[in-house]
Amino acid sequence: MNAPNKSGWKPEMGPASDGEAPATASGDYALALEEPLIFELRGKGKCGVDFDYDPGEPSPEIAKFVRKKDVELPALAEPETVRHYTRLSRQNYAIDLGPFPLGSCTMKHNPRLNEAVARLPGFADIHPLQPMDTVQGAFAVIEQLADWLMKLTNMSAVAMSPKAGAHGELCGILAMRAALEARGDAREVVLVPESAHGTNPATAAFAGYKVENIPATKDGRVDLAKLKERLGPDVAGVMITNPNTCGLFERDMKAISDAVHAAGGLVYCDGANFNAIVGKVRPGDLGIDAMHINLHKTFSTPHGGGGPGSGPVVLSAALAPFAPIPFLRRDDKGRLRMVEERSAKTHAPESFGRMAAFHGQMGMFTRALAYILSHGADGLRQVAEDAVLNANYVLRSLEDVLDAPYADAGPCMHEALFSDDNLPDGMTTLDIAKGLIDEGFHPMTVYFPLVVHGAMLIEPTETESKIGLDRFIGSMRSLAERAKAGDETLKSAPRYAPRRRMDEARAARKPVLTWKAAPGQPGEPSLSEIGGS
């Protein structure tokens, strides 16, 4: 056990608790800094600012509202406050520190040019309720980005307001339902293959559909024969992720679309993995009716930790009339106008309604357009080619030490999938992921997709260099070899992180989000209440 540091807080899981190195008095190890909660740092009577102001006696009207108890705000001097947050920020792993191999997340470098453009006052300082004539430039950005998205996908329309991938899925499904209802043909079932992303069945269920599963073939793709067997007058459509969550391109996509259309249904494609095919494949050519694009993945805007995102949805001609409001139109004088309302006679009579308060994520739009324009058509195609090349390099470099279930089926797309099948009993995917933390990497996506046992899904993206990939591969090989040799120390990884193995299920289900003073000790922190067990 480590000695408590000055604040009384003790790092119960630091590397020295192994007994391999002596505990430090501070609780910090080299430059791996510990940091207590801000409430534990505060001191009575401390203050960051001096107010030379005496409010005097309150007037009788407000006297009864005067607070009798301490507010319990953490009081710290300015330099202590700055240090607290800077120390916390150093505990963050970030794409600017190293690779983020999370499969299905497309964590790529975000060029600084995008940031500079998004911060221009003409974009950053505008308000969504400003008169339309004063924001014609911002509208032009939305229009130009929309035009690129339609050209890249060969689709007829695009709804810009959805604020994330999953929000875009809901938009697409609601447009599909509006189209089916408009032709008096409400249907009940949405088919979702096993290789689809988890948000797909969740979206269909959220929109009120019965979700039915379609099995995958042994090479990880949609079983076309099984899908065709299930099609019928009750099937509203399908939701297919392409490239799918096994990192594979659904080669039968056109045949799937044709079969679904012949049975009167509609085709939703989850396009969050568009990074692998941008500039190479136009989803409109594959018979897709609706597809969301994650601007925060393919078009490089910072994401992770819950936001911000942007999920525009491209729509086929059949679905375009049902697109949500608001959307942009040019009036007869060429001015851009946001159509905010449905009107039975003049505009958007068939729109399914509104998904968001305003026009969407302006900051994401400017970043995505800056990214697209700085790459150009040829650059975007190279994004897809390099992302796929990098993923295949990872796949082929590790397939001899880790089980790669679909490696025989040919090249992968943007992500490489491994399973825990050839690890010895007792060694798991979790051990490899935790070992990666000791190696200084953010772990890959684990236990997803569900179609393989103990999945490890690795998406390097195009922005990792060969040197960077080789370092990552070297660490993965070493971990796989240690696991195969039954190295028990891997079971207690991470050993060099400020925290060891945590009860992640408990942390997710019972997060302790507020600090409370211990009973009877006003203002004094209690370790048990901070969740320090």
Residues that bind ligand PLP (CB under 6 A): 104, 164-166, 197, 199, 241, 270, 272-273, 294, 309, 311
Report the residue number, 170 or 231, with the smaller CB distance to ligand PLP.
Answer: 170
Report the residue number, 274 or 322, with the smaller CB distance to ligand PLP.
Answer: 274
Buried b (16+ CB within 10 A) or exposed e, 286-320: bbbbbbbbbbbbbbbbbbbeeeebbbbbbbbebbb
Least separation in angstroms between residue 447's CB and ligand PLP is 15
Q: Which residue is nearest to ligand PLP (CB)?
A: 165
What SS3 state is found at 79?
Answer: helix
Report the residue number, 2 or 153, with the smaller CB distance to ligand PLP.
Answer: 153
Report the residue number, 2 or 241, with the smaller CB distance to ligand PLP.
Answer: 241
Longest CA–CA separation in the chain, Å: 81
Contact of 40 with 5, CB cutoff 8 Å: no
3-state helix/strand/coil string of 131-187: CHHHHHHHHHHHHHHHHHHHHHHCCCEEECCCCCHHHHHHHHHHHHHHHHHHCCCCC
Least separation in angstroms between residue 499's CB and ligand PLP is 26
What SS3 state is found at 116?
Answer: helix
Least separation in angstroms between residue 166's CB and ligand PLP is 3
Q: How many CA atoms lie within 13 A of 496 on its CB side?
A: 10
At 310, list the tokens.
């942007």
3-state helix/strand/coil string of 295-331: HHHHCCCCCCCCCCCCCCEEECCCCHHHCCECEEEEC
C-alpha span between 420 and 453 (Å, rounded): 6
**Antiparallel, parallel or unpaired: β 189-193 and 327-330:** unpaired
Report the residue number, 153 or 241, with the smaller CB distance to ligand PLP.
Answer: 241
Least separation in angstroms between residue 29's CB and ligand PLP is 34
Least separation in angstroms between residue 40's CB and ligand PLP is 34
Report the residue number, 14 or 283, with the smaller CB distance to ligand PLP.
Answer: 283
The packing angle between helices 362-398 and 466-484, to 10°, is: 50
C-alpha span between 130 and 366 (Å, rounded): 18
Report the residue number, 84 or 197, with the smaller CB distance to ligand PLP.
Answer: 197
Least separation in angstroms between residue 220's CB and ligand PLP is 14
Report the residue number, 2 or 245, with the smaller CB distance to ligand PLP.
Answer: 245
Span between the terminal Cα atoms of the chain, in Å: 13
Least separation in angstroms between residue 315's CB and ligand PLP is 17
Least separation in angstroms between residue 241's CB and ligand PLP is 5
Report the residue number, 29 or 365, with the smaller CB distance to ligand PLP.
Answer: 365
C-alpha span between 36 and 530 (Å, rounded): 10
Least separation in angstroms between residue 106's CB and ligand PLP is 7
At 349, list the tokens.
């009579």
Q: Any idea which residue has 């044709």 for tokens? A: 258
Report the residue number, 153 or 199, with the smaller CB distance to ligand PLP.
Answer: 199
Least separation in angstroms between residue 234's CB and ligand PLP is 25
Q: List the one residue out of 283, 286, 285 whose CA is nearest residue 314.
A: 283
